[in-house]
């Protein structure tokens, strides 16, 4: 039965291990604790040691495999963790050898946050894929009040207009400062009187580029699975049209 201690991810084999051998992976009060642990992480099987899992104090894995923790076992007696198993491998490899992942960085970063692997989190945040998202783009969007709420409103409006329609259009108004806000006031009142829905972003204090904000909006809506694009064809007078953009959602 030496194939269990391979340290490699594998799918369950057709021939199951005898139940007595499985007992080595189950905590039995008063029985000696096995240093070898078999894990079932979302259906992916891993074999490692308690020393590896407890390597970093304060991590969720250390907490899960402490002597006082209540174990969750699958039907075969393996320790079960209800997370995506695909990205647990890089987490485990880091715990074993300190090796950093080279693929699926955002997904591994998310799992590292769940397991509270703080040294790995810090190292991943220095990588371009995470640095660009966490430090650059998110800090950029924090300067826009109500950004996430306005995106949710845009999606709700688009879905509300999707009945028997191939495309939904949502009008947005982007005002960078108080002066822009005042310039758009009459146009917004006119649209409201015509019962036209408009999602207004701003004003904001930081010097944000409008095109960058539009690209972020487009990117974040697409990340939710929608087919969307924006254009600058506004039905409003020329003096205020620069503040208005149309986001088009395609349904089929």
Whether 20 maps to a domain, the answer reads no
Same domain, 169 and 235: yes
Please tell me the predicted confidence (pLDDT) of residue 26.
43
CA atoms of 43 and 18, how far apart (whole Å): 19
CA atoms of 9 and 26, how far apart (whole Å): 20
Whether 226 maps to a domain, the answer reads yes
Please tell me the predicted confidence (pLDDT) of residue 23.
35
pLDDT at 12 over 80: no
Whether 160 maps to a domain, the answer reads yes
User: Would you place residue 14 in the very low, low, confident or very high pLDDT band (cuts 50, 70, 90)?
Assistant: very low
Of 126, 155, 180, which residue sits at a domain end?
Answer: 126
Same domain, 153 and 246: yes
Q: How far is CA 162 from CA 103, 168, 188, 243, in A?
A: 38, 6, 23, 25
CA atoms of 101 and 37, how far apart (whole Å): 23
Whether 186 maps to a domain, the answer reads yes
Half-sphere exposure for 214 (CA within 13 Å, toward CB): 21
Whether 109 maps to a domain, the answer reads yes
pLDDT at 11 over 80: no
Whether 214 maps to a domain, the answer reads yes
pLDDT in tens, 25-77: 444 444 445 689 999 999 999 999 999 999 999 999 999 988 766 778 999 99
How many domains does the chain contain in total? 2
Whether 13 maps to a domain, the answer reads no
Q: How many CB atoms lie within 10 A of CB 215?
A: 13
Q: What is the CATH number of the domain that holds 53?
A: 3.30.710.10
Question: What residue has token string 């790995």?
Answer: 120
Same domain, 52 and 94: yes
Whether 15 maps to a domain, the answer reads no
Please tell me the predicted confidence (pLDDT) of residue 6.
40
pLDDT in tens, 101-143: 999 999 999 999 999 999 999 999 999 989 887 777 888 888 8
Same domain, 107 and 151: no
Residue 162 is part of which domain span?
Answer: 145-250
Q: How much is the pTM?
A: 0.62
Among 6-10, 17-21, 156-160, top mean pLDDT goes to 156-160
Of 99, 126, 153, which residue sits at a domain end?
Answer: 126
CA atoms of 95 and 67, how far apart (whole Å): 19
């Amino acid at each position: 039965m030496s194939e269990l201690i391979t340290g490699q991810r594998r799918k369950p084999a057709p021939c199951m291990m005898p139940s007595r051998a499985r007992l080595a992976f189950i905590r039995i009060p008063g029985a000696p604790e096995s240093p070898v642990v078999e894990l079932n992480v979302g259906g992916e099987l891993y074999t490692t040691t308690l020393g590896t899992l407890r390597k970093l104090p304060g991590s969720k894995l250390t907490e899960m495999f402490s002597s006082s923790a209540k174990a969750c076992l699958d039907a075969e007696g393996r320790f079960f963790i209800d997370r995506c198993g695909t990205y647990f491998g890089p987490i485990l490899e880091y715990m074993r050898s300190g090796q950093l992942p080279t693929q699926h960085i955002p997904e591994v970063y998310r799992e590292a946050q769940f397991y509270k692997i703080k040294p790995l989190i810090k190292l991943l945040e220095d990588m371009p894929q995470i640095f660009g998202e966490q430090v650059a783009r998110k800090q950029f969007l924090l300067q826009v009040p109500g950004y996430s709420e306005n995106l949710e409103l845009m999606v709700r409006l688009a879905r509300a207009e999707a009945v028997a329609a191939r495309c939904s259009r949502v009008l947005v108004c982007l005002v960078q400062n108080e002066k822009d806000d005042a310039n758009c006031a009459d146009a917004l009142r006119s649209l409201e009187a015509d019962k036209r829905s408009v999602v207004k972003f701003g004003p904001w204090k930081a010097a944000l580029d409008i095109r960058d904000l539009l690209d972020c909006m487009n990117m974040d809506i697409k990340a939710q699975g929608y087919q969307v694009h924006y254009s600058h064809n506004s039905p409003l007078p020329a003096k205020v049209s620069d503040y208005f953009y149309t986001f088009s959602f395609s349904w089929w």
